[in-house]
Chain A
Amino acid sequence: EDQVTQSPEALRLQEGESSSLNCSYTVSGLRGLFWYRQDPGKGPEFLFTLYSAGEEKEKERLKATLTKKESFLHITAPKPEDSATYLCAVQRDNYGQNFVFGPGTRLSVLP
């Protein structure tokens, strides 16, 4: 059965304190791994798509990386506005319709 786990469940950082969020997955034939950011009461906002091990994507203070078993979202020198829940999702190779989401990591960045 496909599974996506995320750690930590919650993370509190001081402004400027870099860290990483983890997304571990077990899926037969990964088609893509997706990172989203979700603010309270809003829909998820797309950040990155990664398709193959070794791939990296960057956007402002965020950098996503992918291995065969996990993905990391690195946050460099975070700011309070980076506070949100970060979700990852995987899509299987031969079952394109179905995204499996992880439970998310709730990030708080304190000024």
Chain B
Amino acid sequence: ETGVTQTPRHLVMGMTNKKSLKCEQHLGHNAMYWYKQSAKKPLELMFVYSLEERVENNSVPSRFSPECPNSSHLFLHLHTLQPEDSALYLCASSQDTGGETQYFGPGTRLLVL
């Protein structure tokens, strides 16, 4: 148990659906991250939030929309996804964004039909 939880753990959605992934950290950290992990590919950083402010957006399509209402919660809103968006979506947190260890949640396995 790393102190980072994610829900749901599994999600199947159609291309026209709208869904949200939730992440919560109980570590008192100030930074939170979304990563995408596809088969046979390295983890890809999607978004970084520091003190609820977005500081990094690695050219992610607009069908992915993050939200960070406070330093403990992070959401990833999904709409009109494509089958190639099927992947394991991982949330992580760290004390700050400067060289601190990131602790990961268990991930949400997403399948887009």
Mark A residues whose CB is within 8 Å of B.
4, 31-32, 34, 36, 41-46, 49, 51, 87, 89, 91, 96-104
Contacts and interface: CB of A to CB of B under 8 A. Distances in A.
Contacts of B40: 103
A46 B41 CA distance: 19
Contacts, number: 61
B101 interface: yes
Given A44-B90, A45-B2, A102-B42, A96 B106 contact: no
Contact of B101 (A43, A49, A96, A97): A49
B50 interface: yes
**Which size bracket describes the interface of B in this complex?**
20 to 34
Nearest to B106: A43
A98 B56 contact: yes
B52 to A, nearest CB: 14
Contact of B99 (A42, A45, A91, A101): A91
A45 B103 CA distance: 7
Dominant secondary structure at the A interface: strand
Given A49-B101, A97-B50, A101-B42, 15 more contacts: A31-B98, A36-B104, A43-B105, A45-B104, A46-B2, A46-B103, A87-B43, A96-B96, A96-B97, A96-B98, A97-B48, A97-B55, A99-B43, A100-B42, A101-B43
Contact of A97 (B43, B97, B104, B106): B97
A46 B107 CA distance: 15
Interface in B1-28: 2, 4, 6
Interface in B88-102: 88, 90, 92, 96-99, 101-102
